[in-house]
Structure 1
Amino acid sequence: MATSDQLLVVIDPVARHGDGEAVRIAKDVLSAGATTKVCLPDGPEEFARALARRGSRRPVVIGDDRALLRAVSLLHRRRELAGCALSLVPVGVGDGSVSLARALGVPMGAVAAARAVLDGSERRLDLLVDDSDGVVLGALRIPPTGGADGHGAHGAGGAGGAGGAGGSGSAGEAGPQHQPHWLRTCQSLVRTLAARPARGTTPSAPGPARLRIEVDGRTLVDLDQPVTAVSITTGDGGGGARVEVRPASVGASAAPMEAVARTITVSGADFRYRADAVVGGPVRTRTWVVREGAWGLTLPG
């Protein structure tokens, strides 16, 4: 195999409760091919402790996009990303929960993903880091779209929290490992139901926003030109992020403005954004900087 044959397998609680069969299969494949230590954290604090105490073992996360984002965020804040290659076996509830993993090239399916962990190789990927130390692995959207859940931007990135990605809980939930299982289950159900719109209603789409968008010190769009959408997508090691801005138009759709930049600053009226699986804001200004090849992910060769 590509790196250490000693694995620390961290199984996210959402994966355990959502698809226990896929978790079992992945664990069996990994255990057959390497020496494994399996951790079953019940909350973000235990997840963080498991990673911090990994020693020379290579960390493997079994979970969804939020679990991956939580792991990257924790290692980034500990300044340990450079020397740690992560592996992921995507197990979530619904295809949308592992869309980031799919976009990054991680195989779907417990067996294929576990074999990639054993036989694949590390690929260095770019990382977007904002001015409050939050991270973006894949894409950022303004306004937040794709099932915004209301978690803060750093519910995923805090030292005890979960790219992007609360996963099994947000940073605001104090000491979930001390709560009984039935209470955590009820809290999760309440959060899920509260995030759903009432039956028969459709969430209203946000109107155009007035934002100043600067790329590498150059103004791409200023406040006098309303925009309907902004997307920032990380690269695959090239050191630049792709920025696309869709201006508001009258009649025919206006062509999007595009740029590739290493530093992107967005400012204006209070705005929210979706960084991978996590919604952040409101903020009046935020700067993202590309860190070239900042993190490693094991992918098929």
Structure 2
Amino acid sequence: MATFATSDQLLVVIDPVARRTDGESVRIAKDVLSAGAATKVCLPDGPEEFARALARRGSRRPVVVGDDRALLRAVSLLHRQRELAACELSVVPVGDVMSLARSLGVPAGPVAAARAVLDGVVRRLDLLVDDSDGVVLGALRIPPLAPHEVPAGSTALTAEVPSAPGHPWLRTCQSLVRTLVTRPPRTAFDAGPEPSRLRVEVDGELVVDLDQPVEAVSVVPGAAGVAEVEVLPLSVGAAGSPVRAEGRTVTVSGAHFRYRADAVVSGPVRTRTWAVREGAWGLVVPVPPA
């Protein structure tokens, strides 16, 4: 693990959401960082300015002041620029969504987190990268389908067409509309989530197939470049025993599914493959106790 000198120069990028959410914590973090190192502070107004600030960092160490979404945005940008492996990233969590940063070992308070930036060490972490170049830092989860997300063709809209006596041409149109419209078997928004039917493969080996509905799927980085996969099958109306597997690649396919990667919901997609990249990025965390 690498340590830092107080003479290091820092690029402090303060996310606009953090400034609006908790300006006092932002001020405290900025004061602690400025007192301990030479800092250049950037106040981007949106994602484009955020990206430009990171791209122009030069030799400065980037420090993101913001929530989990700001951290994920920074890692995604550096990954797409193919500069993630050589960049030691720091974060001072400020905002409403900070569980990811905490789970990665970053202190919660602005003072402790800022001091870790100045005096901490780089911890190399695995990364999940999908086939569309998206990244997952912590956990990937596929929940059951909400009723309005059921694939097209399984539930259709209904239409009420008023009668029109005395107008044969209009009655013909009404008849045609009724033949094209199928009533759903139940009221979609009053129903609970639909179980997903997914095919899950780990390193090319089948874990669950489309004929077995599942309650949920989760994928998290494990140890030494391996992803830990857990599939919760649905068995006779109740959740079955979890099926677990480990591997370096995970492929999920199905007619229609969404997934939550860290703090971001993506999809719907029909198939997606995630691969583990061992030690792909470095995050500055406090020095571990002796």
Q: Which residue of 2 aligns with 1:102?
A: 102
Give, as a single letter, the amino acid of the residue that structure 1 aligns with 2:39: T
2:193 to 196, 206, 213: 206
* C-alpha contact (below 8 Å) 1:12/1:63 kept by paired residues: yes
TM-score (normalizing by structure 2): 0.80
Q: Which has the higher contact order (CA 8 A, sep 6+)?
A: 1
Residues 203 and 298 (structure 1 numbering): CA distance in 2 closer, same or farther, change over 3 Å? farther
Could you report, residue by residue, the CA deviation over 1:216-236 in whole angstroms, capped at 9, with x for unpaired residues? 00000011111010000123x
Instruction: Please report the RMSD computed on the Cα atoms of aligned residues, expressed in angstroms.
Output: 1.9
1:252 Cα offset (Å): 5.9
Counterpart position of 1:25: 28
Give the C-alpha shift of residue 3 in structure 1: 2.9
Aligned to 1:31, what secondary structure does the other structure show?
Answer: helix
State the distance in 2 between where 1:19 and 1:244 align. 36
Does the aligned pair in 2 maintain the 1:81–1:295 contact within 8 Å? yes
- CA contact 1:209–1:228 (8 Å) conserved in 2: yes
- State the shift of 1:253 in Å: 3.9
Task: Indicate the residue corresponding to 2:139 in structure 1.
Answer: 139
Letter in 2 for 1:3: F
In structure 1, distance between residues paired with 2:252 and 2:35? 48
Change (3 A) 1:273 1:295: same
* Corresponding residue number in structure 2 for 1:198: none
Q: SS of the counterpart of 2:230?
A: strand
Unaligned stretches of 5+ residues in structure 2 = 146-188
* CA contact 2:198–2:210 (8 Å) conserved in 1: yes
Greater Rg by CA = 2
- Runs (4 or more) in structure 1 with deviation over 6 Å come to none
% identity of equivalent residues: 77
- Count of residue pairs the alignment pairs up: 242
The offset of 1:204, in angstroms, is 6.0
TM-score (norm 1): 0.77
Find out whether 1:262 has 2:248 as its counterpart.
Answer: yes
Distance 1:278 1:251, change over 3 A: closer
Partner in structure 2 of residue 37 of structure 1: 40
Equivalent residue number for residue 73 of structure 2: 70
- Deviation by residue 1:105-150 (Cα, 9 ceiling, x = unmatched): 11000000000111110000000000000000000110279xxxxx
2:129 corresponds to which residue? 129
1: CA distance, partners of 2:191 / 2:278: 37
Task: Note if 1:298 corresponds to 2:284.
Answer: yes
Structure 1: gaps of 5 or more residues: 146-201
Aligned AA for 2:134?
A: G
Distance in 2 (CA, whole Å) between partners of 1:251 and 1:130 is 32
Aligned to 2:177: none
